[in-house]
Structure 1
Amino acid sequence: MTTASLTRHNTPDFFSRFVESVASFFDAVAEGRRIAQRYETLSRMSDAALARRGLTRATIAHAAVNGR
């Protein structure tokens, strides 16, 4: 009689990878929305209000992406 050996792989199965991919996609969409909201908020500020935060109109995009 022969013995069959089953090996267990530590890699996630297709469904788990799919779920992780979908979750990552929605995380990225949420982050994009947060960046867009920060950009919108900063772009509506006056130059004086931006200056109080140490920003200029030219640095709004950078600040929005970096969460300032």
Structure 2
Amino acid sequence: MATITATPTREFGLFGRMGAAVSKVGAAIVEARQMAARYEQLRRMSNSELAKLGCTRDEIAQLVVRGL
């Protein structure tokens, strides 16, 4: 009888670790761009539009960091 065991892949060796690091940097860049876009979207809103969301202009950066 044959059995198959699934194990998660690991990054071995220098090139595997470098590839994983590059992937993490890429993901961080994507996240930073998304946060910048959300910040700009909120920044362009009027004070009354922000109030409808339950926030003030001073809270925009905090909202973006928290993931609004």
TM-score tier (shorter): 0.7 to 0.9
Unaligned runs of 5+ in 2: 1-9
| 1:64 correspondence with 2:54 | no
Per the alignment, residue 45 of structure 1 pairs with 45
Task: Output aligned runs, 1:1-68, within 5 Å.
Answer: 12-68=12-68
Structure 2 CA distance, aligned partners of 1:11 and 1:23? 12
1:12 Cα deviation (Å)?
A: 1.8
TM-score w.r.t. the length of structure 1 is 0.81
Question: Does the 8 Å contact 2:11/2:17 carry over to 1?
Answer: no
Unaligned runs of 5+ in 1: 1-9
CA RMSD of aligned residues (A): 1.4
TM-score w.r.t. the length of structure 2 is 0.81
Structure 1 moving runs of 4+ over 4 Å: none
Aligned residues: 59
Identity %: 39
Residues 11 and 57 from structure 1, CA distance in 2 versus in 1: closer, same or farther, beyond 3 angstroms?
Answer: closer
Structure of larger gyration radius: 1
